[in-house]
Amino acid sequence: MNELIGSRSPQTVAAGELLSEAQSLSSQSETTRLLDWHAHRSRGPGSVAEAVLQLRDGTGRRWQLLVPDADELPSLSRIWPAVAWPQREAVERLGLRFTGAEIPTPLWTAAVRAARDEEDGAEEPGEPDGFLPLGDPGATTPYRLDLRVRLKRRIIEAAQALPGKTHSDFESLATRQGYAQLPLLAEGLNEQAPFAVGLAAILAAEALLCVTPSGRCRRVRMLLAEASRIGAHCAWLATQLLADKGAWGEALAVREAVAALLADISGSRWATGVHRIGGIHADVTDNSPALLAVLAIAVEGLCVTARRHTIDNRKWRRRFIGSAAIDAETAQRWALTGPVLRAAGVEFDVRRDAPYLDYDEVDFAIPTGSNGDVADRVAVRLAEMSQSIAICRQCLDNLPAGVLCQQSSTPLAAAEMIEHFEVWMDGHGHRPSAGTMYLPTESADGELAFWLAADGTGKPAAVHLRSPSLYNFQLLEHLLPGTGWDFAPDVVASMNIVAPEMDR
C-alpha cells in the first residue's frame, strides 16, 4: 500500500530532476498546487532521507511526488514559496542540504535556544534591529506566538515570525507508540478543537489498516467534528472581538453550549479520548436533539451580534475592508487552505473535494469571499458556523442503527479480555502492511492531514502532520508590512493560528 486517498498513484522523481519537474508542473495550463512538503529519514543505520510533496491540480486530482535519496535537494521556494519553512525545518531536524536559493537560519535553533535561556534564568535579550513583540491575541492560549514587528510612524515596516515555542515533538513521539495511541497524542496539538486532530489521526490509521467503521460511527464522528468546528470558530471569534467584552463573552458562552453537546455525546467537554480503531466510544442520547436546538439558537444570535460589531459596522468596515488582503493566486502559491483560502474566492473544501466519513451524503454550502481581506475572513467563518449546524441536524436526522465500535461494550470473557489489552500493549496491537497513507480532513482552519508510513511493525515508521496553522503563520511575515500597529492584532486574529499545532 502506498497511496493518497481518492487520487492517483504516487510518482517518483530523482533529486536531480525535481526542479525541472516542479517547473513543468507549475507551468501547466491546469496549474498544479502544492499542499504540503515534508521529509523524513528511514530508521536504522545507513538511514536514507526521502522528501514527499502533496500536490493538487486544477481539476482537484491529488497525488504525491516522492523524492528518494533526498540528502541534497534543489530549493523549490521560487516556484512554490510555501516550502520555505518546511525546507528550513528539514535543515534543522534532518540535516538536509538545499541548492539554488539561500536557506535562512533554521527555524528551530533560535526557538530552542530562547527556551533554554528562559529555563536557565538568562536575562531577556533586547529585541534585534528595533523589532517589538506583537502580542498574541489568542483567547484560550495566549503568549505562544513569537511574532515581532518593526515600526515606522506606527506602521509595520517588517515582521519576523518564529514557530516552535511549545516543542511538542509530536512527530517523533508518535513513532514510539502504537496506532491506537495516535489520536490521544494528536489531541494535545489543538486546544480549540482537539477532537478534529484526533479524528484526522484515526482516519489515517484506519485507511492504512484497511478498516471501515460502521455507518453509525461515521455519522457520530461527523456530528462531533462539526460541533467541534463551531467551538473552534467561537474561540476564534472571542479573539477577533477581544476589545468588545460583550461580544467576547457571548462567543465564550456559545462555546459552553458546544461543550454541553459534546459532553452529552462523548462524556468529555471537548470529546477527547473517544477514538478507537474502527469505532468511537461515544453516542447520541435522548438529550442530544434538544442540546443541538439550544446550540443552533445560540449560534444564530452570536452571528447576528458578531455581524453587528464587524461587517455591518461602518467604522469597523472602514478599518478592515481591504486590510491584509490575500488574492486567490497568492493564497494558493502559499498553500493556504480553509477559511483564509475561501475568503480569497477559492471554493475549496476537503469535505466536498476529497470527501471522508459521509460528507458526500449531506448537503452544505461552501461560503466564499471575493477580496480575501480581514472582513471576508470574518464573514466566511461566521457563515460556516450555520452550515455546521445544518450538517449536525442531518447527522441526527439520518443516524443509522448499528454498533459504534468493533470492541464489545459488554463484559468480556478471558480470551476476549486478553485480545482487548493486546491492542494497547507494546509489541502487539495493529500491524499494517508496509506502505504509506496520506489522508486529508477539513479542520476549522483548513486542510489538516496525517501522513503515516508503516514498516510492518506495530508502530509507525514515520509520522507527519500537515498543519494549516503553519502555512497561515508563515505568510504573516509578508502580510503584516504596511498594516497599522493598532490594527495588527485583528489581522493576526483573522488568520486564527493554533500555536501547538505548528510545532509538531
Question: pLDDT category, 126, cuts 50, 70, 90?
Answer: very low
User: Hey, what CATH topology would domain 170-502 get?
Assistant: Cytochrome-c3 Hydrogenase; chain B (1.10.645)
Strands laid side by side in the 155-162 sheet: 132-133, 146-152, 155-162
Q: Please say if the pLDDT value at position 459 is more than 60.
A: yes
Please tell me the predicted confidence (pLDDT) of residue 403.
80
| 141 vs 124 pLDDT, higher one | 141
- pLDDT tens for 411-432 read 545 555 455 555 555 656 678 8
- Which of the 8 DSSP states describes residue 63? E
Most confident of 26-35, 104-113, 342-351, 430-439: 342-351
Please tell me the predicted confidence (pLDDT) of residue 410.
47
CATH of domain 2-107: 3.30.460.80
Q: Please say if the pLDDT value at position 167 is more than 90.
A: no
- pLDDT tens for 280-312 read 999 999 999 999 999 999 999 999 999 999 999
- pLDDT tens for 254-285 read 999 999 999 999 999 999 999 999 999 999 99
The percentage of residues in the chain with a pLDDT greater than 70, rounded to a whole number, is: 85
Cell of 267: 462524556
- In one letter, which amino acid is 38? H
Instruction: Name the one residue in this structure whose C-alpha cell is 467537554.
Output: 269
Please tell me the predicted confidence (pLDDT) of residue 6.
46
| 448 vs 1 pLDDT, higher one | 448
Q: CA-CA distance, 259 to 257, in Å (whole number)? A: 5
Please tell me the predicted confidence (pLDDT) of residue 134.
78
- For residue 469, give the nearest of 439, 492, 435, 438 by alpha carbon: 492
Q: What is the mean pLDDT of residues 469-490?
A: 93
Burial 246-280 (b: 16+ CB within 10 A, else e): ebbebbeebbebbbebbebbbebebbbbbbbbbbb
Q: What is the mean pLDDT of residues 122-145?
A: 61
Please tell me the predicted confidence (pLDDT) of residue 125.
47
| 4 vs 343 pLDDT, higher one | 343
- In one letter, which amino acid is 175? T
- H helices present in 27-163, as ranges: 84-94, 107-119
- pLDDT tens for 66-80 read 999 889 999 999 999
Q: Please say if the pLDDT value at position 127 is more than 50.
A: no
Contact yes or no for 400/216 (Cβ under 8 A): yes
Residue 5, CB-side half-sphere exposure with 13 Å CA sphere: 25
Burial 454-465 (b: 16+ CB within 10 A, else e): beeebbbbbbbb
Question: pLDDT category, 398, cuts 50, 70, 90?
Answer: very high
Please tell me the predicted confidence (pLDDT) of residue 243.
82
Q: Residue 64 in 3-state DSSP?
A: strand
Please tell me the predicted confidence (pLDDT) of residue 339.
98
Please tell me the predicted confidence (pLDDT) of residue 160.
86
Q: Please say if the pLDDT value at position 336 is more than 70.
A: yes
Please tell me the predicted confidence (pLDDT) of residue 425.
58
* β-strand pairing of 435-443 with 2-4: parallel
- For residue 191, give the nearest of 445, 380, 17 by alpha carbon: 445
- pLDDT tens for 352-379 read 999 999 999 999 999 999 999 999 999 9
* Average per-residue pLDDT for the chain: 87
Question: pLDDT category, 58, cuts 50, 70, 90?
Answer: confident
Domain limits of the chain? 2-107, 170-502
Contact yes or no for 72/123 (Cβ under 8 A): no
- For residue 271, give the nearest of 196, 356, 202 by alpha carbon: 196
Please return the burial class of 28, using the count of CB atoms within 10 Å of its CB with bins 0-12, 13-18 and 19+. Answer: exposed
- In one letter, which amino acid is 442? E
Neighbours of 207 (CB within 10 A): 21
- pLDDT tens for 236-247 read 999 899 888 889
Question: pLDDT category, 120, cuts 50, 70, 90?
Answer: very low
| 114 vs 42 pLDDT, higher one | 42
Q: CA-CA distance, 69 to 257, in Å (whole number)? A: 51
Per mean pLDDT, which range of 126-130, 158-162, 197-201, 485-489 is the poorest?
126-130
